[in-house]
A = this chain, B = another copy of it.
């Protein structure tokens, strides 16, 4: 059986540490594993399947001999280093936003558009966390009944902003409970000027603002959903709009989704049955027994959990659902490793000529 020299770029972050763990529990046959990070982390060790691996500095030369790269070290690092890795013959699955909107780069959620993998030119992009769980939940609906419109409001966890934001959030929570003033230097986003506490608060800003009043996170949800579902980031056949809010939860995003289907004979039971049969989805929908998805119960799981499915009361063909998934796993590390598994299964771990 073929096995691969794998590298993880950004091995020390909130997603990176989970990439190591997800890879260890995957079907990807690993011949060797390189852990790459900034020079600051070089020399430290992290265990992979019980063996300590020494972290190396991420340089172009570090990719010599590597077949498969799983990257989550930030958009700037991916932009700089992944073309170098591809040049050296490695196929890269990139968890950053660096290449997602490049029309030559497949943006893949395996349950939705694994067929796009065969078109890769060395780089496959992993979508934004908030997009992934929504398209996994709605893919069975798209296939069976068609989708006309999606209006989503997100409830996104602190860890989506990275490990240092998560640490800041926990410190804020402790300070608040101790009656101390909360300090904010990262949230809502390290790349913007003002910083506010997230603990015991809500921040209706994720990433920076665009000129039209939307945040870049909202922009991503709109265009990534269209690219994944309809293979066109500006597709007009499906209306998508989003409001993204950071909530004081460490891990797992929630989303309240209103959606309209094309087939207005679809019933709520039809929608439930379709989603229940969907790949990667677990239906948690039993109001009589107060069963619905929650971040605390989704944390650490690879699946996407869907509940609260119900008809809109005044618009025929319209429905609502509530979807929760671990933003660091299906939203990032697991989706990335799942892409790697498919690349391996379809013998696509090679850079085309």
Seen from chain A, the residues whose Cβ lies within 8 Å of a Cβ on chain B are 149, 151, 153, 155, 170, 173-174, 177, 188, 192-194, 196-197, 200-205, 209, 212-214, 222, 236, 239-241, 243, 245, 247-250, 254, 256, 258, 268, 287-290, 292-296, 307-315, 320, 322, 324
Contacts and interface: CB of A to CB of B under 8 A. Distances in A.
Contacts of A288: 209
Given A194-B290, A204-B322, A243-B256, 6 more contacts: A153-B153, A204-B292, A204-B307, A213-B268, A241-B258, A256-B256
Contact of A324 (B202, B205, B213, B289): B202
A311 to B, nearest CB: 8
A212 B313 CA distance: 9
A182 to B, nearest CB: 9
A232 B204 CA distance: 33
A288 B212 CA distance: 11
Q: Which 7 A-B pairs have the closest CB atoms?
A: A213-B310, A153-B153, A153-B256, A209-B287, A194-B290, A239-B314, A243-B256
Contacts of A289: 194
Contact of A294 (B174, B196, B239, B311): B196
Residue from A243, A309, A322 whose CB has the most chain B CB atoms within 10 Å: A243
Contacts of A155: 155, 202, 245, 247
Copies of this chain, complex-wide, total 2
Given A245-B254, A268-B213, A201 B310 contact: no
A308 B294 CA distance: 27
A213 to B, nearest CB: 4
Nearest to A249: B200
19 contacts: A153-B243, A155-B202, A155-B245, A155-B247, A174-B177, A192-B290, A194-B290, A196-B290, A200-B249, A200-B296, A201-B296, A209-B288, A213-B268, A239-B314, A240-B314, A241-B314, A245-B254, A245-B322, A247-B248
Contact of A243 (B177, B241, B322): B322
B200 A239 contact: no
A289 B209 CA distance: 10
A307 to B, nearest CB: 7
Residue from A194, A200, A236, A294 whose CB has the most chain B CB atoms within 10 Å: A200
A213 B245 contact: no
Nearest to A292: B204
A247 B246 CA distance: 11
A247 B222 CA distance: 25
Contacts of A213: 268, 287, 308-311
A254 B202 contact: yes
